[in-house]
Amino acid sequence: MPASSAKPTGRRWHEAASSVIPGGVNSATRFVGPPYALTDASGAYVTDADGQRYLDYHAAFGAILLGHNAPEVNGAVRDALGGIDLTGIGVTEPEIALAELVTELIPSAEQMVAAVSGSEATAQAIRLARAVTGRRMVVKFQGGFHGWHDAVARNVISTPELAYGRDPLSAGILDEALDATLIAEFNDLDSVRVLHEAYPEEIAAVILEPIPHNVGALVPTPEFVTGLRALTAEQGSLLVFDEVITGFRHALGGYQQVCGVRPDLTTFGKAMANGYPMAGLAGPRELMERFSSAGGDVLLAGTYNGHPICAAAAIATMTYLRDHPDFYRRTHRLGDRMRSGLAGILDELDVPGTVTGFGGVFVVYFLDGPVTGYRDLLRNDHEAYVTFHRRMTEAGFLMLPMSLKRNHISAAHTEEDVDRTLEAARDVLKGMRADAIV
């Protein structure tokens, strides 16, 4: 038998992919070692190419909200197939129904435009903000991720020597684009005020994840989010909530419903279609009608925008959430059960750590708390963080083995799943302590 055929199937798939796809994956964060390839997904579980089954807490970076292959969503997609598909002209009924539902559910939304990805939605938001204000600069927060486009592709998981300084995510970004984006500290309103004072009437927008889930879960204080609303209004800059992760996951109307703050613009995506590619941007009519589709001067274009099949998936997902308010009570309860259980295990084993999260999202930081902003995360033990996720994955509980990545509980998870996860976490942490990793 050739040596290559003795390799695990997933490894062979990765090697085959690497010859035709750069690095063997279509997004850099997908290559983290085993599992190299997945073949099946159902409910709260995924199965790899070698038959290993995992309880899935990665959930495609949170895009899976109701569980993999949710029958309500797949049924809506099947019903849509064979009817209208992509036409590239006019509007379809699913696009109208989608926009009506979004404007019904999101408090700040009067109109919406559809996109395919969160990156496209935030790019549109920033371009619109610059057009509306006539200003060029944007404020983002250290640790926040808003997509891969030049305006925001900097200062996410920065090392201590690069945090708050010049830390682009990619080569090929013009210096002018980097210089037009300023960096503030989450939960520190003064850091935003200082930037407005340093650049008077130059800041078009402040964009933030209401909970920066791209670095785990930094939960905002009420004073911070209400203060941002007041400060941006006073300074004439737009407040943009990037709810690509928090939208529909934590509450039907997004985190803005939770905190009671209405941003000027809202982006959303991921969980809104339970894994189908759909995203969008919403805001008040007076801002949204600056788009060229309404005769304005801000370009709106995209062949796949509002694809009716993906719109059907989004409508089914959001309709399910609207008709089943117990979803939020249940996932929040399971999240609380997981967080309190993990905190108890850390205390029991005398392992330094802080458990945080919101709703169905949970995170274990390997540092002493409290954790309010990115400066606190500079103390995180990244080796321990990645090792914990790696060993949990090896035990059959899929947690992305990358530093500061969060974990998600979906509608398909059960109390028994949580309890089994906690038992496994105790064993993993005992092993990490025995190996002097913590």
| Whether residue 2 has pLDDT greater than 60 | no
Arithmetic mean of pLDDT over the chain = 96
| Whether residue 328 has pLDDT greater than 70 | yes
CA distance 415 to 332: 12
CA distance 397 to 208: 30
pLDDT (0 to 100) of residue 324: 96
CA distance 159 to 157: 7
Domain boundaries for CATH 3.90.1150.10 within the chain: 3-62+325-434
Please count the other Cβ atoms lying within 10 Å of the Cβ belonging to residue 229: 19
CATH number of 72-323: 3.40.640.10
| 285 CB-contact burial (10 Å; exposed 0-12 / middle 13-18 / buried 19+) | exposed
Q: What would the mean pLDDT of 149-175 be, rounded to a whole number?
A: 97
Domain boundaries for CATH 3.40.640.10 within the chain: 72-323
Q: What would the mean pLDDT of 293-307 be, rounded to a whole number?
A: 97
Digit-coded pLDDT (tens) for 117-135: 999 999 999 999 999 999 9
The yes or no reply on domain 3-62+325-434 and CATH 3.40.50.800 is: no
Digit-coded pLDDT (tens) for 243-271: 999 999 999 999 999 999 999 999 999 99
* Extended beta strands in 103-156, E state: 111-115, 137-141
Q: What is the DSSP letter of 262?
A: -
| Whether residue 89 has pLDDT greater than 50 | yes
